[in-house]
Structure 1
């Protein structure tokens, strides 16, 4: 798999598991199987660059009393890549912090956490970062070595022990590596073996070599861990999505079945009542047209038509009550008119009025009429806000499942 393909695969997974973006970036580094990386992290002006120069054996990193390291600096020496990160407090909350954290969390196999002895106890931000590094060490196996730097600036060994004890109280179990880059440089330049030993650099270097020897094994473990965690998270997500989809579709089917059954019951009821009413009638006076002189008179035809309209209205009221209970009230937006009183599902399906027996019989007493009413109201039921929202949930869940399947396949390709 090419780098471009691996990056695309990682993006496919990150689209589904955005909180795993950094783990996926770390995986790509592990898969590349490049040289081991040692990163120095800590606050500004705590002697990180000087320490690195002594560890690599030459002036590879800029050292100054003023702020120097403003971006990740790296050197490849003897098969090891050394990173000098910006101070964690060099430019708080901006790019420098992000560069330092990237080095600590993403690129490094071994972290050297540097704290200047002259500063005494750790501050809150240092304790928090050390705790996070410790948690990461327990999870991934990546090591963090605590370095107490610039010990030559202390008055004596008693003060060094006092500071070491104070830090040990703050972070139980911590093992400080006390060093002095100044003493080591003087020992190298003057050929003074005792000063070299007292600088603590040889002991730290030996500890580093021991940890570097474990990096290949640690990387295998971390790679398996990350693939395992991400794969399991995808499996759990897929299972949850499948269950959600099952519940949503069951709800959709059950709601539809309840609606179909309930609507048919209501239609059958009102149809039976109307048919009984129509069968009880005799002469159809509604068919006799009114004359001009009957405009203001009460005629048999008017009474008949009013009777029919009342029966129709009662049937509509009963159906409408059922529909309202299922959220079927207003027409879809594209069917609505400026006359708001006409924007009802009842009017769209049933019309405004019925005046003749034949119309009532056609609508309620004939199978085709009842089927039309059932079909048309069902159409608007499916267009109701609740049903469309449920359909959208189902579509979103199905799309999420497709994305999760794609992410699982992408992760598998990365692990191939």
Structure 2
């Protein structure tokens, strides 16, 4: 690996360090930083002796160093990472797998820092632990150099069939775990070494050469040293680069998750649903207002017809308005209640994550009681009460004709029909008017007395010879007067009927005015109430959308930067 590639690796780490600290485990970042510094300083690869806590890790270290440097026991003894010198390498002893939780955490932390991992498996029990093989394969996948040391605690002959079967079983377990991780050359990547660590340590201390050879330690040291020497700078940096790639991939995944959470489509769908509900409630309330206004009109008409005065009429209209207001207010409360019940379910569906301020409360209010109705300064123009005796005038209309009116008609007759009225002067017109009144009384039901008087007058004047043309003129006048009187009464009756029609129309018009005023004001009040209920929600959601949009843009820029640097790492050469 060239120095330029190493510098590029360092640059990628420094360029993305802030993002890594933002999205990744801090411990892993610090461990990676120390490994880069160690490599820059020319340090040897970090070698961790790893395995189940009683597999014989410390015993192996003691056998390699030829001194009882590491504590040994069947129970966990190591609660910290210890360093031991062997040849030109530093070996690190760890608490091990399945140690007490505080010890396990120490082991996991050191595992992140190591370049080479030597797994110690006992020849009994632990070799069957699938979890151990899973950990081994994960380290291989992370480009660590890994070796397995079988600690022959059972004292099997290293050349025996039983030992061969044990090794085959370990390889089989390795292959099974490697398949899950997508590794295809696990047997070539992980050498398997054999030793009886306890016998080896005893042989070294007591200087028993034959026991030392039989323990397998000399062969183990040769193979282990060769394995560690083969761990080149490229292997170390390949592992570091892979670790950095893993961190960047984790940071990118986190950005993607947050970006999805910052997606505004959910908020947009919720806002659209709220607007649809708002329009539906407004339409429902307007229809209710129209129905109520029609109902109020049917009640306002009798109030206008029967009220004895302005005070009584005002009281009636106020009462009717308040009752209509109650109906509409009840409907509004019903509709807002329905909306509130559906809102939380919709919010949970469209907003799987919380809004920036972690809450979305809604407050649905309705108009105070009695606010819907005619305003205080509005006036209802109702007609004054018409005297009930107006109805009696229809039956008395004929009796209102007077002698003077008939005389006037005769004068008009002479003016317009001069030949027919030739020779008839004012005095005769007066006598004719009197006679016409008598005839009129007969026609109008004046009684027997009137008829008798008329007959007597006719008898007395029978001996007199009338002037030529007068008899037929008399008849014409008499009939004309009767006709005039009749139609005069008809006209009076028609005037009364027309007056009643005008009065009724005035009542209808004023009832319409009242209902129109009620409907208009009710619609305005309801619109205001609905806006007051919905606007805070939509404003809050719109603000949240703006905040999320800004956050989404930042996350996309960060994700793009991470992708760019991951591409840079993939182009580095570690040969």
Q: What's the CA shift for 1:44?
A: 3.3
Partner of residue 97, structure 1: 104
Partner of residue 530, structure 2: 377
Deviations 1:392-413 (A, max 9, x none): 9869967975895797699799
Secondary structure of 2:119's counterpart equals strand
- Check 1:388–1:150 CA distance in 2 against 1; reply closer, same or farther (3 A cut): farther
TM-score using structure 1 length: 0.68
- Check 1:234–1:165 CA distance in 2 against 1; reply closer, same or farther (3 A cut): closer
Partner of residue 117, structure 2: 111
Counterpart CA distance in 2 for 1:30 and 1:40 is 18
Partner of residue 128, structure 1: 131
Q: What's the CA shift for 1:147?
A: 0.5
RMSD of the alignment, in Å?
A: 4.8
Counterpart CA distance in 1 for 2:308 and 2:561 is 74
Counterpart CA distance in 1 for 2:87 and 2:283 is 85
Contact 1:136 1:142 in 2 (8 A): yes
- Check 1:29–1:48 CA distance in 2 against 1; reply closer, same or farther (3 A cut): same
Counterpart CA distance in 1 for 2:37 and 2:156 is 43
Partner of residue 307, structure 1: 320
Counterpart CA distance in 1 for 2:47 and 2:106 is 15
Partner of residue 177, structure 1: 193
Counterpart CA distance in 2 for 1:235 and 1:383 is 31
Q: What's the CA shift for 1:256?
A: 3.8
- Unmatched runs of 5 consecutive residues or more in structure 2: 1-9, 176-186, 343-362, 379-514, 569-575
> Aligned residue pairs: how many?
373
Task: Say if 2:80 is the partner of 1:71.
Answer: yes
- Check 1:395–1:130 CA distance in 2 against 1; reply closer, same or farther (3 A cut): farther
Partner of residue 167, structure 1: 170
- Aligned pair partner of 2:264 in 246, 260, 283: 246
Counterpart CA distance in 2 for 1:232 and 1:42 is 32
Secondary structure of 1:251's counterpart equals helix
Contact 2:293 2:324 in 1 (8 A): no
Q: What's the CA shift for 1:344?
A: 7.8
Contact 1:112 1:144 in 2 (8 A): yes
TM-score using structure 2 length: 0.52
Q: What's the CA shift for 1:73?
A: 0.8
Contact 2:365 2:532 in 1 (8 A): no
Task: Say if 2:70 is the partner of 1:62.
Answer: yes
Q: What's the CA shift for 1:178?
A: 0.7
Q: How does 1:189-204 map to 2 (within 5 A)?
A: 195=213, 198-204=218-224
Partner of residue 455, structure 2: none
Partner of residue 520, structure 2: 365
Contact 2:53 2:95 in 1 (8 A): yes
Secondary structure of 1:145's counterpart equals strand
Q: What's the CA shift for 1:377?
A: 2.3
Contact 2:256 2:559 in 1 (8 A): no
- Aligned pair partner of 2:148 in 146, 152, 167: 146
Q: What's the CA shift for 1:208?
A: 2.2
Contact 1:48 1:114 in 2 (8 A): yes
Q: What's the CA shift for 1:109?
A: 1.6
Counterpart CA distance in 2 for 1:58 and 1:30 is 29
Q: How does 1:21-100 map to 2 (within 5 A)?
A: 23-34=28-39, 35=43, 36-52=45-61, 59=67, 61-64=69-72, 68-75=77-84, 80-89=89-98, 92-100=99-107
Contact 1:309 1:355 in 2 (8 A): yes
- Check 1:24–1:411 CA distance in 2 against 1; reply closer, same or farther (3 A cut): farther
Counterpart CA distance in 2 for 1:109 and 1:374 is 71
Partner of residue 338, structure 1: none
Counterpart CA distance in 1 for 2:154 and 2:219 is 8
Q: What's the CA shift for 1:325?
A: 2.9
Task: Say if 2:258 is the partner of 1:258.
Answer: no
Partner of residue 208, structure 1: 228
Contact 1:86 1:99 in 2 (8 A): yes
- Unmatched runs of 5 consecutive residues or more in structure 1: 15-19, 291-299, 330-342
Counterpart CA distance in 2 for 1:287 and 1:73 is 107
Q: What's the CA shift for 1:48?
A: 1.7
Task: Say if 2:245 is the partner of 1:225.
Answer: yes
Deviations 1:173-200 (A, max 9, x none): 47421134554885796889x9387542
Counterpart CA distance in 1 for 2:251 and 2:240 is 16
**Which entry has the higher C-alpha Rg, 1 or 2?**
2
Contact 2:23 2:251 in 1 (8 A): no
- Check 1:305–1:80 CA distance in 2 against 1; reply closer, same or farther (3 A cut): same
